[in-house]
Copies of this chain bind each other. A is one copy, B any other.
Amino acid sequence: MAIRRLHLLHRREERERTGLFLIEGVRFLLAADRHKVRCETLVVAPDLLHHRMARHAVLRWQNAGVPVLEVPPGVFHHLSGSDEPQGIAAVVPADWERLAEVSPHEGLCWIVLGSIQSPGNLGSILRTADAVGAAGIVFLDPDVDPYDPACVRASMGALFSLRLVRASPAELLSWKRRHGVFLVGTAPDAAADYQEIRYPAPTALWMGCERRGIPSEHRTFCDTLVRIPMRGDSDSLNVAVATGVALYEVLNQDRRRPG
């Protein structure tokens, strides 16, 4: 794969067209390796790559037949999103699953997201989702791209631990019904406090995102709506923080559950 094609993967359309995305840095490559993600191409700048485990991993992948593109430091710097690039990147396949083929009975819960502007916030959500042991994310807005380089970076590699699904609200509803998923929506004007209700397994947590929240026509899909209480002048939380607060309530209830 030519270096020019790698640069194109910084663009959304090229990622969608090819089903490929870029990861960069030792932490991410090792996370991919742990999760047995198949690299399409490795990009290595030997002069920049000093991490011993990563150098070993490169040899291992090379022996397993993964094409390795060696580039000089200047070329790597140009490709990199980092100020201090570690000299290793890879092209890996996006791993979308179909909701109809997903069982909700694994992991702590699922997360449902509408539109999110900031890839950094999205990456933080993935990182928290992984930290609590959530199973995966359902993306209702096809414009939200977890494979955006800024999201991948903010996820700290959590991308590989989670199942990622794109679905329509109608597909979400039929999945919820088929599997008896308890669907909890968050909304600032909800009657119930988020600590007041019990989150059974399987639960899916639909985060009302940023300006719009959960569209009114979809609120009836939810078994219950909850609000996160606030005291100050603020009328809302950052969406990644709100998701963290809600997910930790689900985790904490699960930790208190016998057995």
A contact set with B: CB distance below 8 Å: 31, 34, 108, 120, 124, 127-134, 154, 156-158, 160-161, 195, 228-234, 236-238, 240-245, 248, 251-252, 255
Contact = CB atoms under 8 A, between A and B. Distances in A.
B132 A195 contact: no
Nearest to A231: B133
Top 3 nearest A-B pairs (CB, nearest first) are A133-B231, A241-B244, A130-B232
Residue picked from A124, A158, A160, A234, most chain B C-beta under 10 Å: A234
Contacts of A238: 124, 127-128, 154, 240, 244
A230 B132 contact: yes
A180 B127 CA distance: 36
Secondary structure class of chain A's binding surface, majority of residues: helix
A121 B255 CA distance: 28
A67 to B, nearest CB: 27
Contact of A232 (B132, B228, B236, B241): B132
A114 to B, nearest CB: 19
A109 to B, nearest CB: 12
B230 A131 contact: yes
Contacts of A255: 229
B244 A158 contact: no
Given A156-B234, A237-B244, 6 more contacts: A31-B233, A131-B231, A131-B232, A157-B234, A240-B241, A241-B241
Contacts of A251: 229, 231
A16 B108 CA distance: 47
Contacts of A133: 231-232
